[in-house]
C-alpha cells in the first residue's frame, strides 16, 4: 500500500538515496505471523536515566544514557506490554549486566570508555529494567553480554519451545542491541516487527538510519498503533506453549 507518511529517516536520506529506494525494491512489508512474542531489549536505568532528562545532563550520571527520548519510547512500550499480557503472549526481557571485575565485558573494554564503568554491573539499580516495564515471574529474562540476544544465550531454544514465529522488538539501542537481535532473528527466519516509537538510541542520526536500514532489509518498522491493533486482534495464548 502506498503511503505518504513521513518517516523518521527522511531527513537523513540524500536525494539519490530516495531515488534508489523507489527503484530498488527495498522496504517491502513482511507482515505479521500468528504466534508473536514481545521482546523488551535493555530498557534499563543506565540507558534511560532515573527520570526523563536531556541527554547531555543524563550523561553526567550514566555514560550509556540515551536522553529523554528513552522515556518517550517507554510510554509507547507500556500499552504494548499490557496488550501482550492480556493476550497471554510470551514476554522476554534482556538484562545486560557485567560481573564486578568486568572481565566479561571482553573487548568492549578496549573499544569505549564505558566498558570499565561500574554502572554496568549486574543486579544493581542501573541495570534493572525501568519500573513501568518491570518483569513478572512468568516472563523470560535473558542475561547477555553481547549485542545480539541470540549470542551465547538460551533465547533460541525458548522461542522454539513456545513455537514463536514473530518477534516484536522494542528498546535500545536502534544501532546496537536491537539491531543485532533483529538481524539475527531475520537470519533465523522469524518475522521481525519494530514499533517505531518504541525504539531509541543516543545518537539521532544512528537511530534514524538504522531504523531505515532495518526496515529496508530485515524488519517491518511500523507505527506502534498498528502493532497494538495487531495484538488486540490476536486470540489469547496465541503461542504454542505457556510458562508453568
> Could you read off the pLDDT of 78-107 as tens digits, one per residue?
999 999 999 999 999 998 877 776 666 656
Rounded average pLDDT over 225-241: 86
Q: What is the DSSP letter of 166?
A: E
Helix (H, G, I), strand (E, B) or coil at 9: coil
Rounded average pLDDT over 33-55: 97
- pLDDT at site 98: 75
Residue 167, H or E segment: strand 166-172
Alpha helices by DSSP H, 136-236: 155-162, 177-187, 204-217, 224-232
Q: In CATH, which of 1.10.3720.10, 2.40.50.1070, 3.30.230.70, 3.40.50.850 is domain 30-44+65-94+145-232?
A: 3.40.50.850
Which of the two residues, 19 and 120, has the higher pLDDT score?
A: 19
- pLDDT at site 105: 63
State pTM to two decimals.
Answer: 0.90
d(CA 30, CA 16): 25
pLDDT(196) > 50: yes
Domain boundaries, the chain: 30-44+65-94+145-232
Helix (H, G, I), strand (E, B) or coil at 22: helix
- pLDDT at site 30: 96
Listed in sequence order, the residues at least 6 apart from 12 whose beta carbon sits closer than 8 Å to its beta carbon are 205, 208, 209, 212
* Packing angle, helices 177-187 and 204-217, rounded to 10: 10
Q: Which of 149, 172, 177, 216 is catalytic?
A: 177
> Could you read off the pLDDT of 140-156 as tens digits, one per residue?
999 998 999 999 999 99
177 is catalytic: yes
Q: What percent of the chain stands above pLDDT 70?
A: 89
> Could you read off the pLDDT of 101-140 as tens digits, one per residue?
666 665 666 555 555 667 788 789 999 999 999 999 999 9
d(CA 6, CA 84): 28
- pLDDT at site 243: 47
- pLDDT at site 242: 52
What is the overall mean pLDDT for the chain? 91
Amino acid at each position: 500500500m502506498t503511503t505518504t507518511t513521513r518517516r523518521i529517516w527522511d531527513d537523513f536520506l540524500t536525494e539519490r538515496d530516495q531515488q534508489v529506494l523507489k527503484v530498488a525494491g527495498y522496504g517491502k512489508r513482511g507482515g505479521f505471523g500468528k504466534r508473536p512474542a514481545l521482546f523488551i531489549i535493555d530498557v534499563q536505568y543506565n540507558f534511560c536515566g532515573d527520570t526523563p532528562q536531556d541527554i547531555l545532563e543524563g550523561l553526567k550520571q550514566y555514560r550509556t544514557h540515551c536522553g529523554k527520548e528513552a522515556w518517550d519510547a517507554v510510554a509507547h512500550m507500556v500499552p504494548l506490554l499490557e496488550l501482550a499480557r492480556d493476550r497471554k503472549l510470551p514476554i522476554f526481557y534482556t538484562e545486560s549486566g557485567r560481573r564486578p571485575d568486568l572481565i566479561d565485558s571482553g573487548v568492549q573494554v578496549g573499544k569505549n570508555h564505558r566498558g570499565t564503568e561500574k554502572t554496568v554491573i549486574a543486579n544493581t539499580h542501573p541495570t534493572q529494567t525501568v519500573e513501568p516495564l518491570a518483569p513478572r515471574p512468568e516472563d523470560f529474562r535473558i542475561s547477555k553480554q553481547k549485542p545480539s540476544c541470540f549470542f551465547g544465550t538460551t533465547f533460541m531454544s525458548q522461542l522454539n519451545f513456545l513455537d514463536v514465529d514473530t518477534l516484536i522488538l522494542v528498546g535500545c539501542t536502534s544501532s546496537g542491541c536491537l539491531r543485532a537481535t533483529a538481524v539475527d532473528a531475520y537470519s533465523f527466519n522469524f518475522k521481525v516487527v519494530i514499533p517505531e516509537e518504541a525504539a531509541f538510541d543516543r545518537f539521532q542520526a544512528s537511530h534514524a538510519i538504522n531504523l531505515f536500514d532495518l526496515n529496508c532489509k530485515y524488519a517491518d518498522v511500523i507505527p506502534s498503533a498498528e502493532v497494538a491493533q495487531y495484538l488486540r486482534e490476536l486470540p489469547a495464548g496465541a503461542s504454542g506453549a505457556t510458562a508453568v
